[in-house]
Structure 1
Amino acid sequence: MSKKPAPSKRRVYGGIDAEQRVQERRERLLETALELFATQGYQNTPIEQLCSEARVTTRYFYEAFPGREALLLALYERLIREAQAAVREVLQRPGLDLAARIPRAMRAFVESYVADRRRAQIGVLEVVGVSPAVEQRRREVIREFAQVLEGYADSLVAQGLLPQRDYHPVSLALVGGINELLAEWLMTGSPGSLQQLQETISDVMQALLLGGAVMAQQAKGRK
């Protein structure tokens, strides 16, 4: 009977295997990119500086990411996924009426995406104009946020709280407006407080959704 080949051993140094080391270096690069891209700009941050600040050699940088743009996209994806998850969790939470759900969703968004100004700086400004690939992803993200709001609006239609219509264009316009509010907040020399920003975004959403609810009630009254 032939012997089974012995399982390959994972190389371990200092109690940490090679795969863990790769992940740790990747995390350090992401954290360094968050700081440098946000404070001095993506275009002004060379790979050599990223590696120096993250204590990673260029060899290991390219082991983790194909290039600087790939690092930016990976960071962007992380920020977006976390913000979307925070908003979706509130919008899907049972037991909240429409009036309470909107400001809580906006509070969750601000806390996830804006409370750390670096995150908003990258998600709103630093990804603009980098390359066609990054721009395509940025446009996809806007549509994804719009789909989250569209799904919520459709659920309100099913409950009779909003009139029946296609809410995709409206949701897209709403996300675009929020994006511009964030850009203005980031680029203003003396921005208002996070609470003011949150309240403004919440007001915009309520103008759409609560206004739609009034339209639905008026339509019922005319029948």
Structure 2
Amino acid sequence: MSVASPLPHTEPPHDCPRCPRLVDLRRDLRAEHPDWWNAPVHAFGDERAWLGIIGLAPGKHGANRTGRPFTGDYAGDLLFATLDKFGLSHGTYASRPDDGLALHGAVIVNAVRCLPPQNKPTPREIATCRPFLDRQIEALPDLRVLVALGRIAHDSVLRAFGEKLSDRKFAHGAEHRLSGRIVLVDSYHCSRYNTNTRRLTPEMFEAVFAQALAHRGPS
């Protein structure tokens, strides 16, 4: 089961053929786990979002299994609890796509839409998937702020806006103004590894979203 995308015309097809290595992994997992989503994971959230959250790629037992970004793994526990704290969601997150959760003013997309082996997409796979990110950014008329979860998401956003990576260094809590109207805020990814090692604490993560809300502007 998957939730409907708020931007259906921007999404890759269910059997997107663009990245052979990811297609092979998808095929293997469909044989091993036929009840999983095992397909490109679509955006989740509000089509009138002012805030875009850019992740890396679906997790094997999270979004690749459930079909909704960050749903079913530890990273989602922290992300959705934080969105709830800042009034960006309605309903209760229950780690499944039919829990009735909805986002308000926010949308979540991934830089890479299919599960990569070891959660490590290649540069070619990131570039091949970037047109979908480009289309979704363009399709959000009220977008004002982007939060990039990790360096790959940060770099993908910069390339989507035609920015030089060397001019916009990734750093947790760093802010970058893009095209005069969009603010990019960087965060370490909310992965279990980062939180277990205390590279990212819940307080640090919440501070990023407080920064994002400060740039919301008039409703």
- TM-score when scaled to structure 1? 0.29
Larger relative helix fraction? 1
Larger relative strand fraction? 2
Tell which has more relative contact order, 1 or 2 (C-alpha 8 A, sep 6+). Answer: 2
- TM-score when scaled to structure 2? 0.29
